[in-house]
Amino acid sequence: MPEFVTFSRNVFIPVTNICRNLCGYCTFRRDAGHPEAHLMSMSEIRPILERGEKAGCTEALFVFGEYAEEVPEYLLELEKLGYSTTVEYVADLCKLAIEIGLLPHTNAGILNRKELEILKPLNISMGLMLETTAELKAHSESPGKKPSTRIEMIRTAGKLKIPFTTGILVGIGETKDDRKRSLNTIADIHKEFGHIQEVIIQNFMPKPDTPMADHAPPSKEEMIDTVAIAREILPSDVAVQVAPNLIDPYSLIKAGASDLGGISPTTIDWINPEAEWPDVIELQKMIKEIELRERLPIYPQHIKKGWYSNNLSYLIETLTDKNGFKRKQR
């Protein structure tokens, strides 16, 4: 059992839900023209960030559908905001978050090197789920889910020394051997570049009105087994993360998990909107006798390495304690 388990407090901003991918399990994505399709304006986002900062959050999590620019209707909406690409817009949103006092973490799907270079100075960390190295039916209409494409982006982030989150999705048609291959791939990339902070072991949750609505989720035993395999395969400086709004974490901590990811006191989980975040008191009850320790969206080892830009130095100095974790509020 670990001495302590970590988590962070975030504000979850779904910048746009228009996406070129059509994954078999996703309810986040919307087609342009759908009543729920959106591109959030800066005036909508600012008060959400401000509420999060006042509630003690340290992370602004910016999530958006992949390459929405391929959709003409989306481009028109983006141009109304004064931008030609989503990355340019998100760069300004990151600046806004920093101004308000939050550390940006962008998860945007596939980004090329130039796009990563634009966002790196404005993000304390970034992320992309590998999901799996297997070619699956769930991803047959999702060009951005091609394993080699995702691996290349994770490697590029390593070359740029971007503290990074990745992970696998368990129960979408992959085998146990597929999971091992995926985890070994992540481990090999980290051994080369040293940038992966955490690997999420996320359990698939079937959702209504999706092609995989009747697909069974992984069992608790499968999740325990996968976490144990992850802990065995991954280097010791890479945290194994599980989502406490999707599964009871205690047995997974006993199997090797050491992080509970980001929870939000002010926003919902837009990827799994049916799954409410636990608050910090509930989180402590869930992990029983284990100490719960709050961190930032950058881990202490990457703070010590100085893997952040001058744009973020003041916030790091303000928010961290001497060990690189979240400074306790007085």
CATH of the domain at 27: 3.20.20.70
56, 66, 172 from 204: Cα distances, Å = 30, 20, 6
How much is the pTM? 0.96
Per-residue pLDDT tens over the stretch 114-159: 999 999 999 999 999 999 999 999 999 999 999 999 999 999 999 9
Q: Are the C-beta atoms of 243 and 259 separated by less than 8 Å?
A: no
CA 282 to chain centre: 22
Looking at the domain assignment, is residue 328 inside a domain? no
> Is residue 228 one of the residues assigned to a domain?
yes
Assigned domain for 330 exists: no
Looking at the domain assignment, is residue 223 inside a domain? yes
**pLDDT, tens digit, for every residue of 70-92?**
999 999 999 999 999 999 999 99
DSSP 91-146: HHHHHHHHHHT-EEEEE-S---HHHHHHHGGG-SEEE---B-SS--GGGTT-GGG-
**23 known member of a binding site:** yes
pLDDT for 330 equals 52
Q: Is 94 assigned a ligand-binding role in the annotation?
A: no
What is the number of structural domains in the chain? 1
Whether 209 is in a domain gets the answer yes
Percent of the chain with pLDDT over 70: 99
Residue 26, marked binder: yes
Question: Does 325 reside within a domain?
Answer: no
Residue 329 in domain? no
Domain span at residue 40 reads 4-319
Residue 81, in any domain of the structure: yes
**pLDDT tens digit sequence for 29-68:** 999 889 999 999 999 999 999 999 999 999 999 999 999 9
